[in-house]
Chain A
């Protein structure tokens, strides 16, 4: 199982588009991309899950960690393109209330 990670930087935000499955096997790859962004805290982060067919709790763990780090720097985490199956995970765990999920993004 594989994941493609495409990162683009614009002004104060990193847009990270994922394509594939986000699970215990592929999560370290996303972790590697996010680590420097989380540490510097200079940007907001938007993660697009439109092409993610499956995500497990390890994936959620990355979102939790990223959220904690970004909040310390008063930055935001947005998650978009969340399918119903994955949305269920965010809802059961109560994490939906802490993150911006599937919110309509501001007009650019």
Chain B
């Protein structure tokens, strides 16, 4: 017996009991469990109506009074469809509200959190940040301290949607409000306290924070659990990994961050990115080989960093499995003191 036969028999039993039996309440009880079952199977109301018609014929119910009486059962079953429809509608409404909230978060990011890329004579900067969905979890900020110092940060906020957008604005206004050049380890320590107090349980933020002094060519940097950055050495055509120890922001109240410094040579590039680059999934679902990314950078190393990030982004998009998209951010600072 198929599942459909089973349902037909159940409906026949209900009709039999109601029309010829003596326990109407029992019949209505059965109606309820019957409706639940057919709704579960995605049966449509019109299928139930034709089942009803077929069964009346099959059971040879011809008496007008009986046919009329049988409609009570049909009505009882159809009522449940009405409830389901109303549930569906209220869910659609909720979804609409949710969509609107996402629009707010997305325009908040586009306007308030937008970072202008400053221009300098002695260095060049390129940056690209592309969200996978409406609201991005990636964020970068660049601050020109006008005293020969430049702060930059690349962050990945884990936990999406509005909480992520709020966390980002906290970070931006935290960074911007220092107003003078702060050491990366101190900045991260402060940002950690801000994020730790305000975010929901599952959320955390990874961040690479750099302070570049273009008088001395020294880069000071710290990392809050972020992907290691790269330093491209122009003279040797080699990449060095730059990383410092530190836990992600928002998890441990009194976290401390290691800070390192390194000298940047002429035409060297500091390259910071998010896991949208390192964890990129290719069309065959395998992970990207990071050596390929390094080779891409080598190919265009003599271009302006903005062209380099654009080129890499486009190459990565061609390789990427479109169903496995993640937010992607790339930041390049090139020392340019010719």
Contacts and interface: CB of A to CB of B under 8 A. Distances in A.
Contacts of A31: 202
B326 A56 contact: yes
Q: Is the interface of A mostly helix, strand, loop or mixed?
A: helix
A15 B48 CA distance: 45
Q: Is the interface of B mostly helix, strand, loop or mixed?
A: loop
Contacts of B203: 61, 64-65
Taking residues whose C-beta sits less than 8 angstroms from the other chain, chain B's interface range is 20 to 34
Interface in B266-285: 275, 279
Interface string A27-69: 0000100000000000000000000000011101110110011
A96 B290 CA distance: 23
Contact of B156 (A57, A65, A97): A57
A61 B202 contact: yes
A13 B221 CA distance: 42
B126 interface: no
Nearest to A31: B202
Contacts of B225: 92-95
A97 B159 CA distance: 21
Taking residues whose C-beta sits less than 8 angstroms from the other chain, chain A's interface range is 10 to 19
A88 B200 CA distance: 24
Given A65-B202, A68-B201, A57 B275 contact: yes
B150 interface: no
A37 to B, nearest CB: 13
B247 A94 contact: yes
Contacts of B246: 94
B232 interface: no
A58 B247 contact: no
Q: Ordered nearest first, which 5 A-B pairs have the shortest CB separation?
A: A94-B247, A65-B202, A93-B225, A65-B201, A61-B202
22 contacts: A31-B202, A56-B326, A57-B206, A58-B160, A60-B158, A61-B159, A68-B201, A68-B251, A92-B226, A92-B227, A92-B228, A93-B204, A93-B247, A93-B248, A94-B245, A94-B246, A94-B248, A95-B225, A95-B247, A98-B247, A98-B251, A98-B252
Interface of B: 156, 158-160, 200-204, 206, 224-228, 245-248, 251-252, 275, 279, 326
